[in-house]
Chains A and B, each alone.
Chain A
Amino acid sequence: AQKITQTQPGMFVQEKEAVTLDCTYDTSDPSYGLFWYKQPSSGEMIFLIYQGSYDQQNATEGRYSLNFQKARKSANLVISASQLGDSAMYFCAMREANTGNQFYFGTGTSLTVIP
C-alpha cells in the first residue's frame, strides 16, 4: 500500500483565495511526523510545515496550516491568501519512528495560482 497518497495531480486557485491540498497517509506506527515541501520550477525542495503525531494542535507557519485529522489519517495543507509565487509542486511526506531515516513522499500536487 502507498504510504502517502496525494490524489490531486493539479490544482488551480485564484490569487488571494485559500486552497487545500490533500494528503492521506498509512502507518501503524504510533509515532510519526508529517511534512509538506514546496518545489518551484527551479527544483529545490523547500520545507514548509511539520506536524508530529502526538501534537494536539494543528501546525501553522504563516500562511500555511496543516489540517491534521489523525483518525482519518489525513494531513491536508491549507494555503491562505494565495500568491503568484505559490505556483509550484507540493509534496506531502512522512517519517515513521520505527523506520529511522527514511521519508516517504507522495507523488505531489501541482498548484497554479491564477492572477
Chain B
Amino acid sequence: ETGVTQTPRHLVMGMTNKKSLKCEQHLGHNAMYWYKQSAKKPLELMFVYNFKEQTENNSVPSRFSPECPNSSHLFLHLHTLQPEDSALYLCASSQVGSNNYGYTFGSGTRLTVV
C-alpha cells in the first residue's frame, strides 16, 4: 500500500460507544496530523505528532484521545461523543524539515454520531 490509509471509511456510533479511527502512512514521513472537517467550515487542526511526540492539541475536548505508537501509525480514540462531532476526520502526514513539506492526506473517515 502507498500513501496514507485511513480505516474505517465510514463509522456510525452511538453517544455511549467507544471506537477508534486508524491512520497509517507508508511514506516515511516524520509528522502526522488529525483534522476535522465539518460542513461549511474550514478544516480544523486537532492534533499534531512530530517524531511520535504530540506537539499540538488545539483545545480538543477530552472525548477525543490521540495515540501515536510509532511514526507510521496514528489513532484517534473516541468515547461519549456528541452529535455535533459528526464530521469527516482526515489524517495527514508530512516530512517536516524538507523544502516543501506539503501534507499527504488519507481518504478520511466519515463519522456519524447518533
Contact surface of A with B, Cβ cutoff 8 Å: 4, 33, 35, 37, 42-47, 50, 52, 91, 95, 100-103, 105-108
CB <8 Å contact, A37 and B105:
yes
CB <8 Å contact, B42 and A106:
yes
CA distance A75 to B30 in the complex (A): 28
CB <8 Å contact, B102 and A44:
no
Contact surface of B with A, Cβ cutoff 8 Å: 31, 33, 40-43, 45, 48, 50, 55-56, 88, 90, 92, 94, 96, 99-108, 110
CB <8 Å contact, A43 and B41:
no
CB <8 Å contact, B100 and A43:
no
CA distance A102 to B45 in the complex (A): 8
Contact of A50 among B40, B50, B92, B100 (CB under 8 A): B100
CA distance A16 to B79 in the complex (A): 48
Contact of A101 among B50, B99, B110 (CB under 8 A): B50
User: Closest CB of chain B to A26's CB: distance in Å?
Assistant: 14
Contact of B43 among A43, A47, A100, A105 (CB under 8 A): A105
A interface: dominant SS: strand
Find the A residue at minimum CB distance from B44. Answer: A105
CA distance A50 to B107 in the complex (A): 20
- 4 nearest interchain CB pairs? A45-B105, A43-B108, A44-B107, A105-B43
Q: For B90, list chain A residues within 8 Å (CB).
A: 43, 45
CB <8 Å contact, A33 and B107:
no
**30 A-B contact pairs sorted by A residue (CB < 8 Å):** A33-B102, A37-B105, A42-B107, A43-B88, A43-B107, A43-B108, A45-B90, A45-B92, A45-B103, A46-B105, A47-B103, A47-B104, A47-B105, A52-B100, A91-B43, A100-B55, A100-B96, A101-B33, A101-B50, A101-B55, A101-B56, A101-B96, A102-B56, A103-B103, A105-B43, A106-B42, A107-B40, A107-B41, A107-B42, A108-B42
